[in-house]
Structure 1
Amino acid sequence: MNYRAKYLLILFFLSLFAGYDLLAVAASSHRKKERLSEYVNPFIGASTNVRKARAGHGLGKTFPGATTPWGMTQVSPNTITGGDNGPGYSDEHTTIEGFALTQMSGIGWYGDLGNFLVMPTTGELFTYRGTEQYPEKGYRSRYNKRSEKASAGYYSVFLSDYKIKAELTATPHCGIMRFTYPKHKQARIQIDLARRVGGTSTRQYIERVDDQTIRGWMRCTPAGGGWGNGSGKADYTVYFYAQFSCPLKEYGIWSADIPDNWTRRLGDIGKPEYIDRVIHAETFHKRDKMEGNHLGFYTEFPTEEDDEVVVKTGISFVSMKGAEMNLKAEVRGWNFDRYRDKAASLWDEALSKIKVSGGTRDMRTIFYTALYHTMIDPRVFTDVTGEYIGGDKQVHKTDDFIKRTVFSGWDVFRSQFPLQTIINPEVVNDMICSFISLAEENGTKYYDRWEFLNAYSGCMVGNPAISVIADAYRKGIRNYDVKKAYAYAVNTAEKMGNDKKLGYVSGRVSETLEYAYSDWCLSVLAEDLGCKEAAAEYFERSRSYSKVFDEEQGWFRPRNADGTWKEWPEEGRLKESYGCVESNLYQQGWFVPHDIPGMADLMGGRTKTLADLTNFFEKCPSDFLWNAYYNHANEPVHHVPFLFNRLGAPWLTQYWTRAICNGAYKNKVEGLVGNEDVGQMSAWYVLSAMGFHPVCPGETRYELTTPLFDRVEIKLDDRYAKGKRFVIKTVGNASEACYIQSAKLNGKSLEKCYIDHSDIMNGGEISFRLASYPNYSWGLE
């Protein structure tokens, strides 16, 4: 039996028979020392506000609720159902619809999940959620903003309209909610099974199992909107198994009469005729079982002041039995505080991969919250038994890896996955196994750029899975079927890439440059595997970026299929979306990470390129919010500060990365200047704050920059690393001391402004001496 099978088996039986008692021991020991989980502030980035972002993409779009590292569940308050509000929550909202078991983190498209919406209420039963403006017309409630608390694995709030305190915590596959009631003759817990961020589930089933238990499922298809308002092709079923600490004596099911032929996407469910059907849903008292198009469940009971009711729910994407097994494996009894502490302990362990010293309390909070945000996705998709639903809609079981999902490829190949190759290489390996298994199960034999619960959404551009695989292979992460990984990568490049005859994508610069880079990644992988002809072919394709460089304008420019150039706009290369995705030509044009010397030659040589790059930064605002120059709020430029290293001016990389860390990341709700994008925005910070970052994933080189902290210790995985830890130290670190004067690697003078992945994996120490003025001679080797 391999280590993965052993891990799953041990976890399952420990959970089943001991209820994670070993974690309780760990939690006890953590109490005697500083807990890293106490630095996490889940409110950082928890806003979709477009006004504050100065852009339609909004701010961080994170959720503040409870989750565990890589957990299947994200137990969080939901304040909004529709629109470009992926997390289901935004800090400026004044009412809460309820508390759901699944959420997305930081995505900028129309959101999804938000399933199994639980709401504690009192008084009259409402089957409609109400609106932000008129919450009293539904079951939603105003809430006391000052009462909101969130930490790693915990969330609480006071619902003002019902005088109920709600508390949330999580295990990897379960959510636990505790509600503290006022004295009331008609207190209630109600569950909206139709509710879904950005739409509705299209079919539901509910069954009362016994006087404490319900189970069922919610089917979510593109017809119900959700991911991309249906364009993301999300098609999944969430199964649940829920138990109540209060017996189900008075209970029922409500069903809205939604005709099968009604369209049910986001714009449809807000229409008056649809809302009217939900408001006038029929209620079936003591009905034990029902299937329908818009169902909800409720249980009622009298309460005395401060009575507590706990709801614990296991979920699965496989079956009701899987949800039941998940709950029974991870949650035994009704001790909410015990599981809250266990969730924090899981985060203590996960966050301990990196330990920082020095800096302010705010700096450590920003750092560990960023690290926390990088360990939400790619989330676990397997049940405790190892079963998962495959791309063929069939149940599969694996003992070799943990099936993972939610791959925001265009975002996360840049920083998120390179970070995990260092601190969580097994997660990267799992993701590659998940790529391969999905491509095989769904019959496509290629990788998509944005995968969500088995759905190939086709969102964004490029072939980022190829980048992740090439980068991982080069770094020794290879515990998967390498032949299939390569074969499907080839299929991907052949299916989605630059036009073979033209050498570019007609009218598009972003696509042309991104495909050129992924072709380079494939050439690297082919070379490593001894496929010399393929390596040469894809290397030649990687040079296609030059096909869309206009020498007359001195910059990249969209080109028509007949070879002519698209008309140059009045705004020039600052015009957003002119041949580009979520960017302008000035921003996208720096994306030639695999051939920076070739890029600089096209741009007029090193001196001219460096001057233009300097101008690019000097014209961006100090708060780094959305702008036409260096736009840290979006991913295409995330490698650009490190280009100064490659152009012979490493002191400018040092200056600007420190400025970005201080200006674009804050310990507050508006603390992320752009969408978190499933870990990418935070991973950039974690790497940069430690003092290194890749320019080109697929290379093993990391560009050095100024660390934020006096000391950083990275714990290494002994299955992938020779050393036990890699330590980064600074001497003379201060807020104004952003320049490297000298460096040593394992005691020897280091004159280069970069290190190799192997330098980290071998363990050891790098140290920097810093000052408030640049050293123009360091790092030029």
Structure 2
Amino acid sequence: MTNTKQAVFKALPGKKYCAVIFTAALAISTLIVKAQTPAAYVNPFIGATTNTDDAGVYHGLGKTFPGAATPYGMVQVSPNTITGGDNGSGYSFEHTSIEGFAMTQMSGIGWYGDLGNFLVMPTTSKLKTIAGKADGSLHGYRSKYDKKSEKASAGYYSALLTDYNIKAEATAAPHSGMLRFTFPQNKESRIQIDLARRVGGTSTLQYVKVVNDHTIEGWMKCTPDGGGWGDGDGHADYTVYFYAEFSKPLTDFGVWSADIPDGWGRKLNDVTSAKYLNQVAAAPVLKGVKETEGKHLGFYTQFATHANEEVILKTGISFISMTGAKNNLNAEIKDWNFDGVHQKAIALWNNALSKINVEGGTKEQKTVFYTALYHTMIDPRIVSDVDGNYPGGDGKAHHAANFNKRTIFSGWDVFRSQMPLQTIINPSLVNDEINSLVTLAQEKQKDYLERWELLNAYSGCMLGNPAVSVIADAYAKGIRNFNVPEAYRLAVGSVEKFGNGDKGFTGGDLSISYTLEYAYTDWCTGQLAKWLGKTADAEKYINRGQAYKNVFDPEKGWYRPKDDKGNWKAWPDSARTKQWYGTIESNPYQQGWFVPQDVQGMAKMMGGNEKVIADLNNFFGKTPDNMMWNDYYNHANEPVHHVPFLYNRLGAPWLTQKWTREICRRAYNNSVDGLVGNEDVGQMSAWYVLAASGIHPVCPGDTRQEITSPVFNKVVLKLDPKYAKGKTFTITAQNNSATNIYIQSARLNGKVYNKCYIDYKDITAGGSLLLTMGSKPNKSWGILQ
């Protein structure tokens, strides 16, 4: 799980919060959304907590945000409840106060987090220049809010800020957002904007200018010196440009500018310290200033309001220029019709979510499904402006003529389910992502691909070479609208720079994880070489794909880490279940199943299919009912996400059917804690979307898709005619129910089908897969390999 990265970077202890979950606040607003549309089922509160107490582990839970967004949009207008801690989304449901509404957010991540820029807060009475502390130890402009009033749906969020008696509403367009505030009668009402604010630290330099009597523009520079991603260790370095218009004229306005001494540190612990906050609290307020630059700026506009007066702020965002931000706003939000923008956001979501249509199942299951699909459509987000210009890795503006520049590639997570899902329903997005990674490497003059990219940063986060997996999977599936020779060159550069090499293993504290992950992406590179006719490379890298065997100790019967010289490390009593023993964010029992490129070779090494099946049964059988963080099948983290589908490869497909249905039932539900682990930029949800639909890969780069027991009676996958021969592929589960979870027989396009897998090309050809379900396993179906 990519939240703390303790093994790769310094540890981040999770701060614990006491959670009181008000289930009444989970209701989705359906005043505008029609009940039969996919968007009506979306509940953005699913997973919207970082609570470590409920999770029972420092990783916390889903870490999603509840604010307004559009599919893969640049802008997310969301409430922020906290700046400190391992709170990448800036929000946690159990918090009782809001410090503002930001225009950018990350979804499902920790590691301090980033973005959360352009923090807007409506206030009354005396102006305060800091948000203050959630525990009340330091007062500021943050406000308690009525949890019962809090509502969120696709493209919309609202809550009543009780300290000010102000109703706040948010909606979004792809590159811009709107906030509507309903004020009480007050002579000192205002909208204030903290330009320095950033989820995991602070922006280090800001600029603001009053353009006319309704408009401001400016920028916020966010560098590693200001913390952010990995508290600076993630190398995030970006500038957010804004162009913002107010519905009420700017007549009484100004800035506050805190004097931050040159020698002061500005990472997360620095900017959340009492010393720093007291300095900001004492910031001079400069009335009437029309243009300024500073280290810690805020802007405010003050006005009188009558009871229930609505004041609207609309903002365009760009990562290139203020002109880009203005163009983005003018292209998307031409008037002050908040409800109209909201309706357009709903339409965008209905169009995006209609890529998959499900029938049957309960309302709860449909809510979980469409919210999961919604969460897979936050990232990788567009970072190019409406004119196609985007910020390059060289710090210059570039123009993308044939792809959309995208950002936030949580590679170690998303290569497993999220990107394979997109190859089916959004293949053009996969091309976009590969183009984005390849051009980034060129712009930065790198000879390898980044594994966890954020706004052009080569963060170095996590391990493996996940971009190589995504490229191999795309190429295998005929998704090839990218510079294939350059992508191959960078794939080779990646596995040579980060790999097991001729030594055949990687030593050190994470020896097992590194060796297994590298072996897989070496195999992916070998597949690419084979397809491209590079015979020598194919042989070399496919052979390196067997390196997983080099950290398996036959004497112990399991994987064992080696030191750099190849000596076995000491074997503890609880070796297989000992967290961090040769592995990252897991234990050897969990990581050891990761040989997707050679399941049969792995099984033979482990003692044969029967022994492996028995071991897997033990693995699943000892998993706690709630599937929260544990030492066995730990669905809260990515290394095991392919494991339920291994039964298909081992000759016991009924156990894949059993356990995927169990995971769908136990690890996902319609509540704030409805995700047992971090969402991780769409991965956790993508697993559910695929498994609940009845298919999931074991090995991206291999076009085989495992068949399992669908949650729904009918699933229709809408195919892209630019990439697929067919229009739709339908999976029907006849006689499906909570007890009839086992496949009795199957027909593909009307013909008897006895395989427990289907090829990707059969899906994209269009057609139908009919599964007849029953309450007992049919142990003769699906055995053909």
2: CA distance, partners of 1:262 / 1:438: 33
Give unpaired runs (5+ residues) of structure 2.
1-31
1:694 corresponds to which of 692, 697, 703: 697
Q: CA deviation at 1:162?
A: 0.3
**1:717 matched to 2:716:** no
Q: 2:364 maps to what in 1?
A: 362
2:568 corresponds to which of 550, 565, 569: 565
1: CA distance, partners of 2:273 / 2:400: 44
Query: What TM-score comes out, normalization by structure 1 length?
Result: 0.95
Deviations 1:582-622 (A, max 9, x none): 00000000000000111011111111111101100000011
Q: 2:26 maps to what in 1?
A: none
SS in 2 for 1:773: coil
Q: CA deviation at 1:564?
A: 1.8
Q: 1:83 maps to what in 2?
A: 85
1:341 corresponds to which of 340, 343, 358: 343
Q: CA deviation at 1:135?
A: 7.5
2: CA distance, partners of 1:606 / 1:710: 32
Q: 1:321 maps to what in 2?
A: 323
The aligned runs of 1:352-501 (5 Å cut-off) are 352-501=354-503
Change (3 A) 1:718 1:691: same
Asked whether the 8 Å contact 2:713–2:734 carries over to 1, the reply is yes
**1:668 matched to 2:660:** no
2: CA distance, partners of 1:136 / 1:455: 34
AA matched with 1:510: S
Q: 1:283 maps to what in 2?
A: 285
2: CA distance, partners of 1:647 / 1:59: 32
Deviations 1:691-733 (A, max 9, x none): 0100000000001000011111111000000001001111111
SS in 2 for 1:146: strand
AA matched with 1:360: T
1:594 corresponds to which of 597, 601, 613: 597
Q: 2:9 maps to what in 1?
A: none
AA matched with 1:501: K
Q: CA deviation at 1:109?
A: 1.5
AA matched with 1:189: I
1: CA distance, partners of 2:34 / 2:102: 33
Deviations 1:7-59 (A, max 9, x none): xxxxxxxxxxxxxxxxxxxxxxx988822111000000000001111111000
Q: 2:732 maps to what in 1?
A: 729
Q: 1:269 maps to what in 2?
A: 271
1:130 corresponds to which of 132, 137, 141: 132
Deviations 1:521-552 (A, max 9, x none): 00011111111110000001110010000001
Give unpaired runs (5+ residues) of structure 1.
1-29
Q: 1:754 maps to what in 2?
A: 757
Q: CA deviation at 1:198?
A: 1.1
1: CA distance, partners of 2:241 / 2:565: 53
SS in 1 for 2:648: helix
2: CA distance, partners of 1:563 / 1:318: 49
AA matched with 1:244: F
Q: 2:616 maps to what in 1?
A: 613
SS in 2 for 1:420: helix
Query: What TM-score comes out, normalization by structure 2 length?
Result: 0.95
Aligned residue-pair number: 752
The aligned runs of 1:499-514 (5 Å cut-off) are 499-507=501-509, 508-514=511-517
1:238 corresponds to which of 232, 237, 240: 240
Q: 2:25 maps to what in 1?
A: none
Asked whether the 8 Å contact 2:504–2:544 carries over to 1, the reply is no
The aligned runs of 1:39-78 (5 Å cut-off) are 39-78=41-80
2: CA distance, partners of 1:272 / 1:780: 64
Change (3 A) 1:629 1:755: same
Asked whether the 8 Å contact 1:403–1:430 carries over to 2, the reply is yes
SS in 2 for 1:509: helix
2: CA distance, partners of 1:151 / 1:359: 21
Q: CA deviation at 1:503?
A: 3.3
Q: CA deviation at 1:261?
A: 2.2
1: CA distance, partners of 2:185 / 2:504: 73
Structure 1 residue ranges (4+ consecutive) displaced by more than 4 angstroms after TM superposition: 30-33
SS in 2 for 1:119: strand
2: CA distance, partners of 1:315 / 1:684: 31
Deviations 1:445-476 (A, max 9, x none): 21011000000111111000000000000001
Q: CA deviation at 1:270?
A: 2.1
AA matched with 1:590: W
2:642 corresponds to which of 639, 655, 660: 639
AA matched with 1:111: G
Deviations 1:357-406 (A, max 9, x none): 01110100000000000011000010001111100001111111100000
Change (3 A) 1:32 1:651: closer
Q: 2:29 maps to what in 1?
A: none
1: CA distance, partners of 2:286 / 2:502: 62
2: CA distance, partners of 1:416 / 1:473: 16
Q: 2:538 maps to what in 1?
A: 535
1:548 corresponds to which of 543, 547, 551: 551
Q: 2:748 maps to what in 1?
A: 745
SS in 1 for 2:732: strand
2: CA distance, partners of 1:502 / 1:726: 42
Moved more, 487-496 or 157-166: 487-496
- What is the identity percentage for the equivalent residue pairs of Structure 1 and Structure 2? 62
SS in 2 for 1:143: strand
Q: 1:187 maps to what in 2?
A: 189
Asked whether the 8 Å contact 1:498–1:505 carries over to 2, the reply is no
Q: CA deviation at 1:570?
A: 2.4
Q: CA deviation at 1:504?
A: 3.1
Asked whether the 8 Å contact 1:223–1:230 carries over to 2, the reply is yes
2: CA distance, partners of 1:661 / 1:405: 29
Deviations 1:286-306 (A, max 9, x none): 100000000000000000000
Asked whether the 8 Å contact 1:499–1:505 carries over to 2, the reply is no
Q: 1:682 maps to what in 2?
A: 685
The aligned runs of 1:507-526 (5 Å cut-off) are 507=509, 508-526=511-529
1:579 corresponds to which of 575, 578, 582: 582
Q: CA deviation at 1:260?
A: 2.2
